[in-house]
Amino acid sequence: MRSLIGLLILAAAPALAADQPATAPEAAKEKLICKREVPIGSLIATRKICLTQTQWRKRTDDGNATARQLVEDGAGACGKDGGVCPF
């Protein structure tokens, strides 16, 4: 009985592997780069984040785009929309 179950599992393995996306081998080629980050508001705690070079680049680009958009929109600008600066 155990050998029958083992054979069924082995027979199903290629079918299961075929269901995986084609990008899996490409992602496996890219090496993970791990960095430690300190969460905002913490002086002690750190977290380890491991991403590929492409993912790190996208994360940086997204952050830069967000900062650029805030500056262009004038978010947080003193006196925006007729407001008065507190200082």
State how far the alpha carbon of 46 is from the alpha carbons of 21, 49, 69, 82, 86, in Å.
33, 10, 28, 41, 35
pLDDT of residue 71: 86
The C-alpha angle with vertex 7 and arms to 4 and 9, in degrees rounded to 5, equals 110
Give yes or no for a contact between 48 and 35, defined as CB atoms under 8 angstroms apart.
Answer: yes
Average pLDDT over residues 63-86: 75
Tokens of 82: 């007729």
Give yes or no for a contact between 56 and 33, defined as CB atoms under 8 angstroms apart.
Answer: yes
The more confident residue out of 45 and 81 is 45
pLDDT of residue 65: 95
* pLDDT tens figures, 12-66: 555 444 444 455 566 568 899 999 999 999 889 999 999 999 999 999 999 999 9
pLDDT of residue 53: 96
